[in-house]
């Protein structure tokens, strides 16, 4: 199984500042034949289901604010929230879909400082 490791477990960021969340996979999720990284990011607020933010590591889902961006390739990925808003308080998860079983990171909790 591909193990997804997120860091940090939690972080507190001032409103308007940048939040950076890291996700590392135990093996590459880059598919060489199409040069795509099989990685997605989700946001989960308390009492709600996860919401898809980004897929293919950097493609923003329709309707997701452009302050959310994804980057990285191979085994190391980053979700950046540029200009944290109060409504961004949530737990963020990465997920690989390179192979089954599909696996998720342990989550990163983002709070306001």
Partner 1 sequence: QLQLQESGPGLVKPSETLSLTCTVSGGSVTSSSYFWGWIRQPPGKGLEWIGSIYFSGSTYYNASLKSRVTISVDTSKNQFSLRLSSVTAADTAVYFCARCPVITAAMGRGWFDPWGQGTLVTVSS
| Interaction site with partner 1 (CB under 8 A) | 33, 38, 40, 42, 48-52, 55, 61, 93, 95, 97-107
Q: Where are the beta strands (DSSP E) in 1-113?
A: 4-7, 10-13, 18-25, 30-31, 36-37, 39-44, 51-55, 59-60, 68-73, 76-82, 90-96, 103-104, 108-112
How near is the Cβ of 50 to partner 1 at its closest, in Å? Answer: 6
How near is the Cβ of 79 to partner 1 at its closest, in Å? Answer: 14
Q: Which is nearer to partner 1, 51 or 83 (CB)?
A: 51
How near is the Cβ of 100 to partner 1 at its closest, in Å? Answer: 6
Distance CA 19, CA 26 (A): 23
Q: Which is nearer to partner 1, 42 or 81 (CB)?
A: 42
How near is the Cβ of 85 to partner 1 at its closest, in Å? Answer: 21
Q: Which is nearer to partner 1, 71 or 83 (CB)?
A: 71
75: Cβ contacts below 8 Å, ≥ 6 apart: 24, 25, 26, 27, 28, 29
Q: Which is nearer to partner 1, 75 or 96 (CB)?
A: 96
């Amino acid at each position: 199984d591909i193990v997804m490791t997120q860091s940090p477990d939690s972080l507190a960021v001032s409103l308007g500042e940048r939040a950076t969340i890291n996700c590392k996979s135990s093996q590459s999720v880059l598919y060489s034949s199409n040069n795509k990284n099989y990685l997605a990011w989700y946001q989960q607020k308390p009492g709600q289901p996860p919401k898809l933010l980004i897929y293919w590591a950097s493609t923003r889902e329709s309707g997701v604010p452009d302050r959310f961006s994804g980057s990285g390739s191979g085994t190391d990925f980053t979700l950046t929230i540029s200009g944290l808003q109060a409504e961004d308080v949530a737990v963020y998860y990465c997920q690989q879909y390179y192979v089954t079983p599909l696996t998720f990171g342990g989550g990163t909790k983002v709070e306001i400082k």
